[in-house]
Amino acid sequence: MNSNYKIKVKGTEITIFQKKDTDYISLTDIARSKNQEETGLVISHWLSTKYTVEFLGIWEQMHNPNFNVTEFSNIKNHSGSNGFVLSGKQWISKTNAIGLISKVGRYGGGTFAHKDIAFEFASWISAEFKLYLIKEFQRLKQAEYEKKALGWDVKRLLTKINYKVHTDAVKENLIPKNLSKEQMDLIYADEADVLNMAMFGMTAKEWREQNPDKKGNIRDHANVVQLVCLAGLESINAEFIRQKLTQRDRLEKLNQIAIIQMKSISGSPSLKKLGG
């Protein structure tokens, strides 16, 4: 999903475009701090220097396997000479660059650059502006991190809300007397998989077999909406257990409830704020 954010640097509003979790900062907005009317000209002057072309070329070769090195060499040979002019669109189209993005549109359009490149451009504008840009960018990323951390804490809390209710129901109604701890753990795990099957369509073991490279368990990788629903299913399953419903009947009912609840709560604005 692509999204835009804005930060303010020394009175100038800077747009940050996120594409597939990668941040691109508006060079057009940065250039506006130097010249309100001729932002394209400011960017073009910077792009036309030999140092900038070399910097962009090295960055692309480090990050872009499809970078057109031959065309880059041609541009590099002409850079810095009298009359040499390079725009962002020309650089992108000729070299298949990914460090710059050209967006059209009255609002949110312009030239965007990967943060590495944007900081370099800001340094060309002024050392002071670059430092303030880095500071505000870091503040934005810290706020994002704290939001994700809060969402993670809430998700973990939701999984625990009804845990004791569920395990008590299992203990009181499904576990015979005098079983060993290992035997009881098997029954608890079996009931946990009833919920996993109802919610995710697979057991914890099946998930591990399908995701050998992922750390944690199936619930660690669930989203907020799934965990909210799962917390509710734990209470419902506890009640079903007390009603002496068979495991098969409980699974069928829980799956139907999960489908209904997921449809109902997936659009909740409150959950979206938590990253759901």
Predicted local distance difference test score (pLDDT) of residue 77: 92
Question: Residue 1: what pLDDT?
Answer: 47
pLDDT of residue 89: 93
Among 81, 113, 142, identify where a domain stops. 142
Return the closest-CA partner of residue 102 out of 8, 10, 19, 6: 19
User: Is 152 domain-assigned?
Assistant: no
- Domain-terminating residue out of 142, 172, 196: 142
Q: What pLDDT, on a 0 to 100 scale, did the predictor assign at position 203?
A: 87
Q: Percent of the chain having pLDDT more than 90? A: 34
In this prediction, residue 139 carries a pLDDT of 87
Asked whether residue 114 falls in the same domain as residue 243, the answer is no
- Residue 276: the pLDDT is 47
Q: Output 268 or 86, whichever has higher pLDDT.
A: 86
Residues 7 and 135 reside in one and the same domain: yes
Lowest mean pLDDT among 2-16, 47-61, 96-110, 135-149: 135-149
Is residue 85 located within the same domain as residue 189?
no
Could you give the number of structural domains in the chain? Answer: 2
Q: Which of 112, 119, 241 is nearest to 174 (CA)?
A: 241
Q: Give domain status of residue 157, yes or no.
A: no
Give burial (CB, 10 Å; 0-12/13-18/19+) of 133. Answer: buried
The neighbouring-strand residues paired with 112 are 26, 101
Distances from the Cα of 69 to the Cα of 72, 86, 92, 95, angstroms: 5, 16, 12, 7
Tell whether the model's pLDDT for residue 174 goes beyond 60.
Answer: no
Asked whether residue 134 is domain-assigned, the answer is: yes
Look up residue 83 and give its two tokens. 């009359």
Residues 24 and 127 in one domain: yes
Is-above-0.85 flag for pTM?
Answer: no
In this structure, is residue 132 part of a structural domain? yes
Least confident of 45-59, 139-153, 161-175, 228-242: 161-175
Packing angle of the helix pair 88-95, 69-78 (nearest 10 deg): 140
More confident residue, 21 or 55: 55
Q: Are residues 12 and 138 in the same domain?
A: yes
Residue 229 belongs to domain spanning: 162-273
Residues 18 and 102 in one domain: yes
For residues 208 and 130, state if they share a domain. Answer: no
**Residue 204: inside a domain:** yes
Work out the pLDDT band at 162, boundaries 50, 70, 90.
Answer: low
Q: What is the model's pLDDT at position 112? A: 95
* 199 shares its domain with 260: yes
- Per-residue pLDDT at 52: 95
Q: Is residue 59 within 8 Å of residue 18, measured between CB atoms?
A: no
Q: What is the pLDDT of residues 92-146, one digit of tens each?
A: 999 999 999 998 766 667 899 999 999 999 999 999 999 999 999 988 888 776 6
pLDDT digits (tens, 9 = 90+) for 202-256: 888 889 899 888 888 888 888 777 777 888 888 888 888 888 888 888 888 888 8
Domain identity same for 166 and 240: yes
Q: In this structure, are 13 and 137 located in the same domain?
A: yes
- For residues 18 and 128, membership in a common domain is answered with yes
- CA angle 193–197–198, rounded 5-degree value: 115
Task: Write down the pLDDT at residue 259.
Answer: 85
